[in-house]
Amino acid sequence: MYCKKIKTKSGQLRWECVADGPRNPATGKRNQITRRGKTQKESKRKVLAAVRELEENGIDSKISGRLTFDAVAQKWYESYKATGIKDSTLLRRRKEINILNKHVAKTPIGDITHYMYQEVIYTVFPDYARNTVKGIHSAANMIFKYAKKNKWIKENPAIDAVVPKKQKTVEEIKQENIEEKYLDHEELEEFLLAVAQYGKEYDLERFYTLAFSGMRPGELCALQKQDLLFETNEIDITKTLYNEKNNMREYELTPPKTYSSVREVAMESMIMDMLKKVILKNDKRKMEYRGSHVTHRNITELYHDKDFVFARKNGYPFSTIPLNVRMNELLKRTNIKKAATPHIFRHTHVSMLSEAGADIPTIMKRVGHDDSETTMKIYTHVTNKMKREAPEKITNLYGNILEKIPF
């Protein structure tokens, strides 16, 4: 160790001591630790404490005290982005980081304690849905793990932090009625009749396909000609359509939500016949479009030849937003009072499979779920309802025999 007097930028005299710390374990390079103090004794004490901390924990408190949370979060985000994560997930993580930055952006990463972080979670909880807070907590946990891996902090303050549960009111419990999450047999029939009577182009094909496949709306919008396996009456689901700005030219095809979402779904032949007619119509439209030299803003526009099943006249795919709009308009033609979006057909398909006697593993595989609380709730609700209705059905079928029981 050696020490010397120096003059700081502000003109003050300070003692500065330098000592050798442990070598970098990855490169073997020499690691010198520098600390300043008003006296030589204070400077030496700081250097020895820093060397000891590096030897014991590999943490340089000077770095952890200088690196702020927002700087570390940005470094983690760039590393996370480089792994090929979907744009939709990156957007969500960016929003979660922004929420965390509102509370600890300029706090040195080494100063964030478990108590401080838990208080952040308690603070944001009233303003967001619990799933959103869980996402914020997940992002923070990954950022702190990244900081610990890089020897910027000793412990992860997010470990054992609690995301509280909101106490539900009686009204909220009523609104969570599982029957609100899917269309029953009569409601599905009523909606599809409205589609047949008032539907516009693609309405019939899209809503029937959603109801009888259980696919997500984004997966439906991403369907291309090669995904329709007419020889085996199956649909190959390998992607989803992401379009953040709802600009038809700025769409992206990304992998489905989870690994298990990549699947082949066996379909009824009537649905596949319906889709085959769509393909034939699309092929004809493609030829007409190419021959008409369509211009857009005085520029000749080429047909977007990607063979999307549900495409605009110029070949670009529809996003999920027009699908939502069409569903809202069609619901007005029915007596259905449920707050439904196209995603309800996914839950409806689960109820259809449950009613048909399919078991949970079969249902999960068909809809591309690793695990789903909603799927389990719908399955349990439908099967329990079937059990309650069983005696009545038996009475209807075998009432004449039961009436002959001698008393």
Residue 360 has pLDDT above 60, yes or no: yes
Higher pLDDT, 110 or 332: 332
* Candidate from 32-41, 293-302, 351-360 with smallest mean pLDDT: 293-302
The total of other beta-carbon atoms located within 10 Å of residue 230's CB is: 13
Q: Which pLDDT belongs to residue 87?
A: 80
Place of tokens 């259980």: 214
Higher pLDDT, 151 or 188: 188
Of the candidates 236, 239, 240, the one whose C-alpha atom is nearest the C-alpha of residue 264 is 236
Share of the chain above pLDDT 90, in %: 52
Q: What is the CATH architecture assignment of 179-343?
A: Orthogonal Bundle (1.10)
Higher pLDDT, 159 or 303: 159
Tokens of 286: 């493609």
- pLDDT tier at 121 (50, 70, 90 boundaries)? very high
**Phi-psi region at 151: left, alpha or beta (left = phi > 0; alpha = psi -120 to 50):** left
- pLDDT tier at 294 (50, 70, 90 boundaries)? low
Residue 92 has pLDDT above 80, yes or no: yes
Q: Which pLDDT belongs to residue 166?
A: 74
Looking at residue 15, the DSSP 8-state letter turns out to be E
* Candidate from 102-111, 212-221, 250-259, 314-323 with smallest mean pLDDT: 250-259
Q: Report the chain's mean pLDDT, rounded to a whole number.
A: 86
List the chain domain ranges: 2-58, 69-149, 179-343
Q: Is residue 216 within 8 Å of 248, Cβ to Cβ?
A: no
Q: Which pLDDT belongs to residue 26?
A: 44
Q: Which pLDDT belongs to residue 296?
A: 52
Report the distance separating Cα 32 and Cα 312, nearest Å.
64
Q: What are phi and psi of 7, to 5 degrees?
A: -110, 125
Higher pLDDT, 129 or 200: 200
Tokens of 201: 């182009």
Class of 69-149 in CATH? mainly alpha
The H or E element containing residue 344 is helix 344-355
Q: Which pLDDT belongs to residue 303?
A: 86
Q: What are phi and psi of 296, to 5 degrees?
A: -130, 115
Cα 4 to Cα 16, 17, 62, 111, 150, distances in angstroms:
6, 7, 19, 29, 31
Q: Is residue 183 within 8 Å of 344, Cβ to Cβ?
A: yes
What's the whole-number mean pLDDT along residues 102-115? 93
What's the whole-number mean pLDDT along residues 347-358? 91
Report the distance separating Cα 358 and Cα 369, nearest Å.
15
- pLDDT tier at 52 (50, 70, 90 boundaries)? confident
* Candidate from 26-40, 242-256, 316-330 with smallest mean pLDDT: 26-40
Q: Which sign, positive or negative, has the C-alpha torsion 84, 89, 92, 96?
A: negative
Looking at residue 180, the DSSP 8-state letter turns out to be G
Q: Which pLDDT belongs to residue 386?
A: 80
